[in-house]
Amino acid sequence: MHRTNDLPRQHHIPHDQLVIFEDVYENQNTAMQAKTQIERQPEEQPSTYQPLPSIWTGEDSELLERLLLFYPRKVPKRILDATVNGGRFWKGSTRKVIGMDIAYSHRPGLVGDNTIMPFADSVFDVIVYDPPHIPNQGKDKLKDFNTRFGLGQRSPKEFGYTFSHLYPPFMKEAYRTLIPEGVLFCKIADYIHHHQYQWAHIELIRSANEAGFRACDCIVKTRSAPIVDPRWKTAHHSRRQHSYWIIFRKSAKCE
């Protein structure tokens, strides 16, 4: 485990946004010694009715801000991005965020494993999770696709070339570290791999339900260009040009 002070900052998230609150740690020795000022915010979210579209064509960062305004019962003060990667979800955001990633190369605020989190119970208002979507993938037109979207990790044969084995341990930790009524935002995409359709979003929901979460909503996020591989010669499935943002709540009810 590395402390934030030891790591360079990523360019997407300003220095004053990558914060670690000392009292969220189960082991106080792992906490930063930096002091963080948190602006006073109203406890309740605005009550005005502003419906959220079920299909989103804009950027993830814009959608995530809308989610943060729409779903939490109170203004979230402690937010964990458990797969911060390059920090693209927080582009242009002024929110205070703990950015954690298992890969040192992404220069996260905290290098750590989201299946064994170093935090105390019931400390976060919101957790954001964006697991690898496509194991052992082809190439995309964007040169930094793997860095931006976390698709560089390879899935072993014993897990059927999928990442569904990562969901249960993460969900247990997310449930443990969220406050009651806390919200979990997950971005996930189904995919074709080894000639089989992989229902990743169903596996994710199943793992969340088993951990105690209630699935409350789903936003379909579209993208203009699917991943392609020059080795593909015949199409048997439709091109994947969308992903899902699934909203879970640590509660027996959604409303």
Strands 178-188 and 79-81: unpaired
Q: Do residues 71 and 63 touch, judged by C-beta distance below 8 A?
A: no
The span from the CA of 30 to the CA of 26, in Å, is 8
List residues bridging with 73 in a β-sheet: none
pTM of the model: 0.72
- Structural domains in the chain plus CATH codes: 4-39+50-227+236-249 (3.40.50.150)
pLDDT digit string (tens) for the chain, length 255 residues: 444 343 333 334 443 444 445 556 665 554 443 233 333 345 666 665 678 999 999 999 999 999 999 999 999 999 999 999 889 999 999 999 999 998 888 888 899 999 999 999 999 999 999 987 665 444 444 434 344 444 444 555 554 556 778 899 999 999 999 999 999 999 998 765 555 657 788 999 999 999 999 999 999 999 766 555 566 555 555 556 788 999 999 999 998
Tokens of 225: 């260009």
3-state secondary structure of 219: strand
Question: CA end-to-end span of the chain, whole Å?
Answer: 38
